[in-house]
Amino acid sequence: MHSPDDKTLVLVQAAQQGDEQARNALYEKHWRKVLSVVRLRMGGLLRSRMESRDIMQSVMIESMGSLGRFKYESEGAFVHWLSKMVENKLKDKVDYLKAQKRNVALEEPGGFFEDNLADSEQATPFANLRQVEIVAQLEQALTHLEKDDRELIIMNKVEGLSYAEIARSSGRTPEAIRKAIARAMARLSTCVSQETY
């Protein structure tokens, strides 16, 4: 039996060899995570001018075109690579809007995760509504965190990077990363509880 990480490795290798079914399977497997990353990184600046799904689709299409340059290490590293593509795409969009002299600083903040809610046919309308409320609380709380805390939570909880993978990219030890994420999650929890009262 293959682990999810092994399946992603096989799909990446096949897609790098031009296998269209493997590319489609990679897209299907990772589009929700990429959409979450888009929503998290989009912030309030771009939300009213851009659709998060459009950016996600653009990134997924571009990633399949540049997959040959990707060196697979883990599924988390693959999602992180996609996240960096999201970050670059969003920077390009901000630059474009600034060049158009649009005032993106006045945009209203929107949601991070609405498009990533479970597509369950068995979920009741009440359960779906409650999930939307929880997501709204989380997204609001995330806006109150420092950038480093937000990034650690995104890398670990959304992208799926391990403590060791985050440590390698940050020059810290895995234990230091584990503690930093625990502190960030505690701050997030505090922000969520403050938002609910």
Domain CATH for 147: 1.10.10.10
Please indicate, yes or no, whether the overall pTM of this predicted structure exceeds 0.85.
no
- How far the first Cα of the chain sits from its last, in Å, is 47
Looking at the fold, whether 94 and 136 belong to one and the same domain comes out as: no
Quote the crossing angle between the two packed helices 75-99 and 52-65, to the nearest 10°: 120
Looking at the fold, whether 88 and 135 belong to one and the same domain comes out as: no
Buried (b) or exposed (e) across 136-173, using 16+ Cβ within 10 A?
ebbbbbbeebeeebbbbbbbbebbbbbbebbbeeeeee
- Identify whether 84 is part of a domain: yes
- Collapsed DSSP state (helix, strand, coil) of residue 28: helix
- Collapsed DSSP state (helix, strand, coil) of residue 10: helix
pLDDT at site 173:
94
- Identify whether 57 is part of a domain: yes
Residues in contact with 132: Cβ distance below 8 Å, sequence separation at least 6, in sequence order: 114, 117
pLDDT at site 19:
92
Looking at the fold, whether 80 and 172 belong to one and the same domain comes out as: no
pLDDT at site 36:
85
Token pair in block for residue 89: 């795409």
| Residue tagged 């990446």 (tokens) | 12
pLDDT digits (tens, 9 = 90+) for 182-197: 898 888 878 776 665 4
Q: Which residue, 59, 76, 110, sits at the end of a domain?
A: 110
Pairwise CA distance, residues 1 & 138, whole Å: 35
Residue of 151, 147, 148, 134 lying closest to 189 (CA atoms): 134
Residue of 38, 35, 15, 36 lying closest to 25 (CA atoms): 15
Looking at the fold, whether 6 and 94 belong to one and the same domain comes out as: yes
Looking at the fold, whether 100 and 145 belong to one and the same domain comes out as: no
Looking at the fold, whether 24 and 81 belong to one and the same domain comes out as: yes
Report the 10 Å Cβ neighbour count for 59: 24
pLDDT digits (tens, 9 = 90+) for 161-189: 889 999 998 999 999 999 999 898 888 87
Looking at the fold, whether 57 and 132 belong to one and the same domain comes out as: no
State which residues of the chain have pLDDT below 70: 1-5, 43-45, 48, 100-132, 135-136, 193-197
Range of the domain at 63: 1-110
| Structural domains counted in the chain | 2
Domain CATH for 84: 1.10.1740.10
Looking at the fold, whether 46 and 84 belong to one and the same domain comes out as: yes
